[in-house]
Copies of this chain bind each other. A is one copy, B any other.
Amino acid sequence: MKAIVPFKIVNAKSRLSMLLTPEERKELALLMLRDITSTLTAAGVEVELLTTRPFVWDGARAVVSEKELNPALNDYIAAQDGPIMIVMADVPLITEKNIRDIIGSRADLVICPGRGGGTNLQFIRRPDRYHVDYYGASFLDHIRIAEENGLSSEVYDSFNISSDIDEAGDLVELYIHGRGEAAKYLRSLVVLDASKGRVQVVREETNIHAVRIPGKMTG
């Protein structure tokens, strides 16, 4: 089984620029990618990266395409002759159990929603009869594409996989729930601020109510 992970290294995670420097964003993006690829590998899945320019990295082989995300992925899908998984590079909470559960499904398409109508992971058992259409309410588009091609689909219900770390407000999920290297790194940069109604991560330690992460959450 193979997984393809689209990964953008240039100006990675630009929506986190209010809180993190370009170097920190790049490091966090690489650690999230490493957490995800380690987890996929541990579940017996071979990982390939889809990048727009050559990218040497020890964690996975890179497939380079200068096309936009959808045509690049659809070229990749068209070249496959067995089941594949498409995993977004910003879902560091994903677990080995999640991946094994998904692979264990009998559906032609297993889809994991992201928040706001997105698609954060797809397991495509029949790449010959499927194509992707990311952006917008892609979850609905993907369910429809499966239907139109006579494929059965199943929604895999996961908070972990739904938690894409894209904007500053998402970092709280990684801070609180993360168990990998990306979460450790994030916790070295920011602290949790629960002093206002909405819990968030902030740079400054002043005037905030410190929240202890229980030992079992950081190990």
Write the residues of chain A forming the contact surface with B, with a CB cutoff of 8 angstroms.
Answer: 95, 98, 112-113, 115-118, 136-137, 139-140, 143-144, 147, 155, 157-163, 169, 172-173, 176-177, 192, 194, 198-200, 209, 211-217
Across the interface, do B159 and A199 meet the contact criterion of CB distance under 8 Å? no
User: Which of chain B's residues have a CB closer than 8 A to the CB of A216?
Assistant: 143, 147
Across the interface, do A214 and B147 meet the contact criterion of CB distance under 8 Å? yes
Across the interface, do A199 and B144 meet the contact criterion of CB distance under 8 Å? no
User: Which of chain B's residues have a CB closer than 8 A to the CB of A95?
Assistant: 157
Q: How many copies does the complex hold?
A: 2
User: Which of chain B's residues have a CB closer than 8 A to the CB of A194?
Assistant: 117, 136-137
A103–chain B nearest beta-carbon distance, Å: 16
Given A95-B157, A162-B159, CB of A199 within 8 Å of CB of B143? no
Across the interface, do B177 and A113 meet the contact criterion of CB distance under 8 Å? yes
Across the interface, do A211 and B137 meet the contact criterion of CB distance under 8 Å? yes
Q: Determine which of B140, B161, B172, B217 lies in contact with A176 in the assembled complex, contact meaning CB atoms within 8 Å.
A: B140
**What are 30 A-B pairs at a CB distance below 8 A?**
A113-B159, A113-B176, A115-B115, A115-B163, A116-B169, A116-B172, A116-B198, A117-B176, A117-B192, A118-B199, A136-B194, A136-B199, A136-B209, A137-B194, A137-B211, A139-B176, A139-B177, A140-B212, A140-B214, A140-B217, A147-B214, A147-B216, A155-B177, A157-B157, A157-B158, A157-B159, A157-B160, A158-B158, A158-B159, A159-B159
Across the interface, do B212 and A173 meet the contact criterion of CB distance under 8 Å? no
Q: Determine which of B115, B137, B212, B215 lies in contact with A192 in the assembled complex, contact meaning CB atoms within 8 Å.
A: B137
- Chain B, residue nearest A176 (CB): B117
Across the interface, do B113 and A143 meet the contact criterion of CB distance under 8 Å? no
Across the interface, do B211 and A140 meet the contact criterion of CB distance under 8 Å? yes
> Once bound together, how far apart are the Cα atoms of A113 and B209, in whole Å?
21
Across the interface, do A199 and B137 meet the contact criterion of CB distance under 8 Å? yes
A212–chain B nearest beta-carbon distance, Å: 7
User: Which of chain B's residues have a CB closer than 8 A to the CB of A162?
Assistant: 159, 162
